[in-house]
Amino acid sequence: MDSVDSLRIVIVGGVAGGASAAARARRINASAEITILEKGPAVSFANCGLPYHIGGEIVDRNKLLVATPELFWNRFRISVKTHHEVIKIDREEQIVHVRATSADGNAQEITFPYDRLILAPGAEPVRPPFAASFPRNAFQLWTLPDMDNVLAYLKNQTVKRVMVVGAGFVGLEVVEQFHRLGIQVDLVERNPQILTRMDPIFAKMVARVIESQGVRILTGVSVESLDLENDIAVAARLSNGDRVETDLVLMGIGVRPRTVLAANAGLTIGSAGGIAVNEFLQTSDPNIYAVGDCIEYTYGVTGEKGLNPLAGAANRAGRIAGQHAASGDAEMMGPVFGTSIVRVFDCTAAMTGMSEKQLAQRGIEFRTAIIQATNHASYFPGASNMHLKILYDDPSGQILGAQAVGGDGVDKRIDIIATAMQLGGTVYDLAKIDLAYAPPYGSAKDPVHIAAFVAINDLQHTPRLTLPDTDLSGLQVVDVRTEKERQQLPLPGAIPIGVDELPTRWIELDPNRKTVVVCHSGKRSHVGASRLVSSGFQDVLNLTGGMSIRSLT
Amino acid sequence: MDSVDSLRIVIVGGVAGGASAAARARRINASAEITILEKGPAVSFANCGLPYHIGGEIVDRNKLLVATPELFWNRFRISVKTHHEVIKIDREEQIVHVRATSADGNAQEITFPYDRLILAPGAEPVRPPFAASFPRNAFQLWTLPDMDNVLAYLKNQTVKRVMVVGAGFVGLEVVEQFHRLGIQVDLVERNPQILTRMDPIFAKMVARVIESQGVRILTGVSVESLDLENDIAVAARLSNGDRVETDLVLMGIGVRPRTVLAANAGLTIGSAGGIAVNEFLQTSDPNIYAVGDCIEYTYGVTGEKGLNPLAGAANRAGRIAGQHAASGDAEMMGPVFGTSIVRVFDCTAAMTGMSEKQLAQRGIEFRTAIIQATNHASYFPGASNMHLKILYDDPSGQILGAQAVGGDGVDKRIDIIATAMQLGGTVYDLAKIDLAYAPPYGSAKDPVHIAAFVAINDLQHTPRLTLPDTDLSGLQVVDVRTEKERQQLPLPGAIPIGVDELPTRWIELDPNRKTVVVCHSGKRSHVGASRLVSSGFQDVLNLTGGMSIRSLT
């Protein structure tokens, strides 16, 4: 280890974890020379806030500027150099080559020596082929200049109709913001569903919320080309042959890690396409760290490496890299679970851990429980319904993932489950958590408890659950809903016996046939199925999530 | 084990976990005879909702009636007998003696045989000596009739001024509801602080919120007697000699477990005064279970037995007892952490685990970190500040308890920490949790992360924390706040050096003196103290929580 007095720490990129790394390094090491080289105009800005300024929900642009170079210098003695793009790392000499652009636009190449280098270049939005010609009204939304460009165009041109391409987090956030501005929005997603990280049914719930606001969603369709007039896109040509007119195209089709610098320096790039790092965020060169959206994180549940372009992990990684670079020691980075959340109008969608799709792709066996519950005591004003799905291992009950869609309190339940997953928890643990209850905040049986209870019933066959899209043909299907519910969402072929009739009428059923009990949410069907199991029926299943979920399959 | 076909399960009390036990027993055992004996008029009601109907926040009284005897019978074939008070358990004969009161008020004694008995009598409000004469305008608030009595009095009499005696959860909830009705409220608490389960500083934050609404709080004062006129209390005589006029007295001074029935039957009562049970909720007689507010729970952290009159644990216990009574097998009851929450006007106060007071009483060493943070991204509209305190072991970092006061999102943070405690987590675990972040829900560094970071800095002496009420005399105290902040909350004797001046002016300080760095919240003082530590100062402390907390000591 070098003399601490002379340690030169150079950080490439101020956003995506770089600023966290710098500040932490300084707190640990007063005498190190710490320099942030940032190719953009701002050392640190709230990139997660950009969509909300488009629609004016965040009114003041200055709020997005998290910290200035002056603050970094005055408070931390961290030297911030904006408009400094690192173009090459010379690992032999331990220097970086930088293209520095002055205020008048002149560029010159200079070098910075380093003892420890921390790479935080982040990710960059994928620019699709249809926008290769860069029409003036096709935008991405990743940086402050991107946002300013969108706003300038909205201010100077008449924009009545917008096409948002890509229905991930950023895409959905801008859909809402354009809608706030009274603009007609078309949302185009190449995949068969929006929010591809979620499982289809839960994504469909979110899609229905968006459509209820008058936004048109086109899934399974891609933009093949744009019709241009005077360098302005006037319509999009879609893969289904449709031509959709538009006044502005916003592309949010994902990001990819910025790894060119690292790859050119011979640092190891992982199979998922990010810079490979160890638990202290060191790359294959121990003097070079990498943090943020450019790296591969270790995922919980599977232990596999993967991208995770989310701000929380980037900040935590930055903190660890900064400490380790400054002192040679730090806490180890924990696994990530891809925990993420998005607000879509009055709806919240959140998830943690693996989805059904991801588990199935990896050949991991899992069980699924889906519940409906209110965010707080149903008798207290303002209660709203949420759907919560939990995926778990049989027989251990280890939690593999969770997804939720609803209103208030969705974030809390996913964070509780993410906490349990971080600590290796099972659904048996979830059932026991001593959560804070008062009527404005929850229920004596919280949605997390109910999901755990349902999962435990499944694991213990009291009774077993079956999936929402189960093929019911040939089975004895008992519909325990009310007559009115059956008319609203019919289930052809089912035997209608209301849950309150079942204690007397179960004798009409055949105890030796494989039986599925169905209600609206899965709660009354649990009561009914339990009755049949404990009455000696041999093979009884409860359709998890009930007709409210099956109707979305 | 008896023949399952004839198993008779009798449950004493429908509220406090009894209904949960009955429903669970039925789901496990279709043929058991299940009977709930309830001495009151309602089998199950939302007792946590009672305060909110007083002030009209819950408008419809019917919403408080959770389940009717008809529903229990039709759906579950559970026989509910209201106005059936169990007066004696005959363990030898396995029968209970019951005083059954008919609609016309005639009482007769009858008996019910049982194979398994589940006691869920709950707790009863403590009635203080000053109300021994039962004046017509002195009320408790524990049952539906209690609530109806209060509402009837409010309707028929002129009530301009109310005295609420006892500043626990129910006390604070009714204070707010009376205030909603435009009634002047005096809140009297015998202890030196409100919310005695919280530590004094956090309780004081809540008290300030209440006082800001014009409610007068009298702490350290008890009611010695009431001045009566025509069986109506017109004033209270207080222990400080004051006489306070009042139109209505609401007593919320706590509850005690109902154990007479169990004690008279020779069942073991624990040292905390509740019915002793094992992990399956069996009493000292394995055929008799007890659940809810009448039992002693096992507390996490210490493993000690204690009362925990909270609805969440009661429900979970009921579920386990019902399953075990019906089948002889169940998951074990987990520990409780006394996790609890109360809304007080626009403020939320919540806690889990042990308080400083409780730890000190038990001679358990602990460390304290206090932080201030916003509930979600500070640049996103509606961000509100919360204070979060975490108590932890040194050096393991095991979480011992947490308290929070603030607005939205307090419940989430306490529940996350309760989840980590349930799984034996440390502050190192908290720092790593992959929480869901988007600007409307949190920050890339969540308040939970920040609290963990601060605690880890303390454990690793980077730098060490010191308590808000530290005696600063004789120490080198460095005040890194702004001039304006210093004028607003002066700290006499401190050396004023703004945090941004410290990188140049730290040489003015004596590196060999014990030094405490202070700012408003503890954040800038961390930066300043880190600077001094890494500049070679020998003994530097950061005043946790800063002046915002110290000013409340």
pLDDT tens track for B206-231: 999 999 999 999 999 999 999 999 99
- Chain B CB contacts of A352 below 8 Å: 434, 436
Say if A339 falls within a structural domain. no
Phi, psi for B148 (deg, rounded to 5) = -60, -40
CA within 13 Å, CB half, B410: 34
Domain end among A433, A459, A485: A459
Q: Given an 8 Å threshold on Cβ–Cβ distance, is A440 in contact with B343?
A: yes
How many Cβ atoms sit within 10 Å of the Cβ of residue B422? 26
Mutate which: B341, B379, B501, vs A, most A CBs within 10 A: B379
Residue B314 forms contact with A (CB below 8 Å): yes
**Chain A closest-CA separation from residue B227 CA (Å):** 35
Q: How far apart are CA B232 and CA B235, in angstroms?
A: 9
How many Cβ atoms sit within 10 Å of the Cβ of residue A134? 8
My answer on whether A454 and A471 are in the same domain is no
Q: Produce one character per residue of A139-168: b if its CB has 16 or more CB atoms within 10 Å, e if not.
A: bbbbbbebbebbeebbeeeebeebbbbbbb
Residue A337 forms contact with B (CB below 8 Å): yes
The residue of chain B with its CA nearest to that of A412 is B412
CATH number, domain at A66? 3.50.50.60
My answer on whether B172 and B319 are in the same domain is no
Segment B141-158 mean pLDDT: 96
Segment A497-522 mean pLDDT: 96
Short-list B504, B509, B510, B530, CA closest to B519: B530
- Chain A CB contacts of B535 below 8 Å: 30-31
My answer on whether B35 and B106 are in the same domain is yes
Say if A333 falls within a structural domain. no
Residue B292 forms contact with A (CB below 8 Å): no
- pLDDT of residue A452 exceeding 90: yes
A2 pLDDT band (50/70/90 cuts)? very low
Q: Which of the residue ranges A213-217, B29-33, B163-167, B509-513 would you say has the lowest mean pLDDT?
A: B29-33
Q: What is the pLDDT of residue B105?
A: 87
Exposed, middle or buried by CB within 10 Å (0-12, 13-18, 19+), for B82? middle
Domain end among B253, B287, B315: B253
Mutate which: A379, A482, A509, vs B, most B CBs within 10 A: A379
Q: Tokens in use for A40?
A: 């953009």
- pLDDT of residue A1 exceeding 70: no
My answer on whether B178 and B223 are in the same domain is yes
**Chain B closest-CA separation from residue A192 CA (Å):** 25
Q: What is the pLDDT of residue B4?
A: 45
Segment A462-476 mean pLDDT: 96
Q: What is the pLDDT of residue A15?
A: 80
Q: Given an 8 Å threshold on Cβ–Cβ distance, is A434 in contact with B411?
A: no
- Chain B CB contacts of A71 below 8 Å: 500
> How many CB pairs lie under 8 A apart between chains A and B?
281
Phi, psi for B42 (deg, rounded to 5) = -125, 135
The C-alpha torsion from A443 through A446 and A447 to A450, rounded to 10°, is -120
Catalytic residue among B48, B294, B347, B519: B48
Q: Given an 8 Å threshold on Cβ–Cβ distance, is B57 in contact with A381?
A: yes
Say if B334 falls within a structural domain. no
Catalytic residue among A48, A294, A347, A519: A48
Q: What is the mean pLDDT of chain A?
A: 95
H, E, C per residue of A103-158: CCCCEEEEEEECCEEEECCCEEECCCHHHCCCCCCEEECCCHHHHHHHHHHHHHCC
Helix or strand (DSSP H, E) at A260: helix A260-264
Short-list B216, B255, B254, B205, CA closest to B238: B216
Q: Look at residue A164 and give its three-state secondary structure.
A: strand
My answer on whether B115 and B136 are in the same domain is no
Q: What is the pLDDT of residue B133?
A: 83
**Chain B closest-CA separation from residue A86 CA (Å):** 26
Residue B279 forms contact with A (CB below 8 Å): no
- pLDDT of residue B3 exceeding 50: no
Q: Which contacts of B56-59 are long-range, i.e. CB under 8 A and separated by 24 or more positions? A: B56/B177, B56/B180, B56/B181, B57/A380, B57/A381, B57/B177, B57/B180, B58/A379, B58/A380, B58/A381, B58/A439, B59/A381
Residue B379 forms contact with A (CB below 8 Å): yes
My answer on whether A279 and A297 are in the same domain is yes
My answer on whether A135 and A115 are in the same domain is no
Q: Given an 8 Å threshold on Cβ–Cβ distance, is B526 in contact with A27?
A: yes
Structural domain containing residue B509: 464-550
Q: How far apart are CA A137 and CA A157, in angstroms?
A: 10
Q: Given an 8 Å threshold on Cβ–Cβ distance, is A75 in contact with B48?
A: no
Residue B345 forms contact with A (CB below 8 Å): no
Share of chain B above pLDDT 70, in %: 99
My answer on whether A75 and A105 are in the same domain is yes
Q: How far apart are CA B372 and CA B522, in angstroms?
A: 8
CA-based radius of gyration for chain A: 27
CATH number, domain at A489? 3.40.250.10
My answer on whether A215 and A160 are in the same domain is yes
In sequence order, what are the beta bridge partners of A23? none
Q: Given an 8 Å threshold on Cβ–Cβ distance, is A334 in contact with B58?
A: no
Q: What is the pLDDT of residue B83?
A: 94
H, E, C per residue of B67-117: ECHHHHHHHHCEEEECCEEEEEEECCCCEEEEEEECCCCCEEEEEEECCEE
B44 pLDDT band (50/70/90 cuts)? confident
- pLDDT of residue A137 exceeding 70: yes
Q: What is the pLDDT of residue A4?
A: 46
My answer on whether B440 and B469 are in the same domain is no
**pTM to 2 decimal places:** 0.97
- β B161-165/B184-189 pair status: parallel
Short-list B523, B517, B520, B509, CA closest to B543: B517
Q: What is the pLDDT of residue B359?
A: 98
Evaluate whether A338 touches A414 at the Cβ level (below 8 Å).
Answer: no
Q: Given an 8 Å threshold on Cβ–Cβ distance, is A352 in contact with B436?
A: yes
Check if A294 is active-site.
no
Say if A291 falls within a structural domain. yes
Evaluate whether A528 touches A478 at the Cβ level (below 8 Å).
Answer: yes
Phi, psi for A64 (deg, rounded to 5) = -80, -10
Q: Please state whether the peptide bond connecting residue B113 to the residue before it is cis, i.e. omega within 30 degrees of 0.
A: no
Q: What is the DSSP letter of A203?
A: H
- Chain A CB contacts of B438 below 8 Å: 48, 169, 173, 340-343
Q: How far apart are CA A460 and CA A394, in angstroms?
A: 10
Q: What is the pLDDT of residue A5?
A: 56
- pLDDT of residue A16 exceeding 80: no
Share of chain A above pLDDT 90, in %: 93
Q: What is the pLDDT of residue A41?
A: 84
Instruction: Mark which residues 78-117 of A lie under 8 Å from B by CB.
Output: none
Domain end among A402, A426, A459: A459
**Chain A closest-CA separation from residue B395 CA (Å):** 14
Q: What is the pLDDT of residue B486?
A: 97
Task: Choose among A58, A319, A418: nearest Cβ to B434.
Answer: A418
- pLDDT of residue A251 exceeding 50: yes
DSSP B228-239: EETTEEEEEEET
| Overall number of domains in chain A | 4
First to last CA, chain B: 59
